[in-house]
Structure formats: structure tokens, C-alpha cells
Amino acid sequence: MRARRSERSEAERARAGEALAGHADSLGPGPIAAFVGIRGEPPTLALLAALHARGVRVLLPLLLDDLDLEWAVFDGDADALVEGLRGVLQPAGVSLGLDGIAEASLVLAPALAVDGSGHRLGQGGGSYDRALTRTSAPVLAVVFDDELVESVPVQPHDRPVGGTLTPAGGVRRRL
């Protein structure tokens, strides 16, 4: 999956980012916990800007040394994001703590792939699996359209998602 992502052109990635932003209206009033796509992930900055422009409170993760996630408010200024641990782009503002995600009415989570049962293949650090235990909000994995797959490996600690957000398909909820 990582190799396929690395083969995407910058133009293709930019189109995918703009298409994701086109689905901002379908994501509800918020607050929304999201992320900034890095290292081949679907680009989300345009989506974050579209959500912020609608007045949605957007929370972004702050990656900690133990790979857990705290949360901070995105103020709409992508240029004000700072590089954190492992290159994660994050707000420089005040942390809402580990439980900041509980404020969200929707979580947009990164993934390498998602299957029809809602199993999400992450990057392997368990950051989102831990964070998702602190919220009861619905979770949508943000992936490219070709990353909806037949099945992904599942570990006992893996948290399922309720659907996906893809550039072409938009929001797809699992039944």
C-alpha cells in the first residue's frame, strides 16, 4: 500500500485533496477530529480549510513520544502548523489533552486501507487505536478510492471504523 502511494503523482494527489474538500459539507457541523495527510496519505489541508471556512471546529492530533495522541484546535492557518514527532503537522496552540478527541462529533482517521467490515489498516503505531477508545463519535477512515480492499489483517487491539471518506466516493458508511 505504501509503495502504491509513493507512485502517485503530485498532480494526482492535488486532485484527490481538492476532491476531499468537495465533500466537506457532508461531514456535519462538528466538532471534527481530523489529521493533516503526510507521507503519501490523502492530502487533507484543502478539506481542513473547507471545514474551517464553514465554521466547523477542527481538532488535530499532537503525536506524543509514546505515540499516543493529544489534540489541539486548528485555527485555519495551514502555514501556522508546526512539524511534530515523525513529521506530523500539528497546531502550535494549547493541547486539549488525551481526552480532547471526546469533544468530536466525528473523527476522520488516517489509514493505509479499509475493508468492507470496517477494519482499518493503520501505520502500525497504534496511535489511533488508542485515541479511538476515548470517543464515542463515528469514525471515517480517509483513504484513496483504490484503498478500499477485500480484507486487511486485524489485531485484537484494532478499532473498526464506521465508514470511509474517499476523493471520488465521498462518505460511505458501513451498514
Q: Minimal CA–CA distance to 62: which of 40, 39, 81?
A: 81
d(C-alpha 174, C-alpha 4), whole Å: 25
d(C-alpha 67, C-alpha 61), whole Å: 11
Those residues of the chain that have pLDDT short of 70 are: 124, 175
- The pLDDT of residue 175 is 44
Give residues with Cβ within 8 angstroms of 166, minimum separation 6. 20, 42, 142, 143, 144, 145, 147, 148, 172
Burial 162-175 (b: 16+ CB within 10 A, else e): bbbbbbeeeebeee
* Domains of the chain by residue range: 2-173
Q: Inter-axis angle of helices 10-21 and 45-53, to 10 degrees?
A: 20
- The pLDDT of residue 124 is 66
Specify the CATH number of the domain 2-173: 3.40.50.10420
- The pLDDT of residue 125 is 75
Q: Minimal CA–CA distance to 130: which of 72, 85, 63, 59?
A: 63
- The pLDDT of residue 167 is 97
Q: Minimal CA–CA distance to 37: which of 148, 155, 167?
A: 167
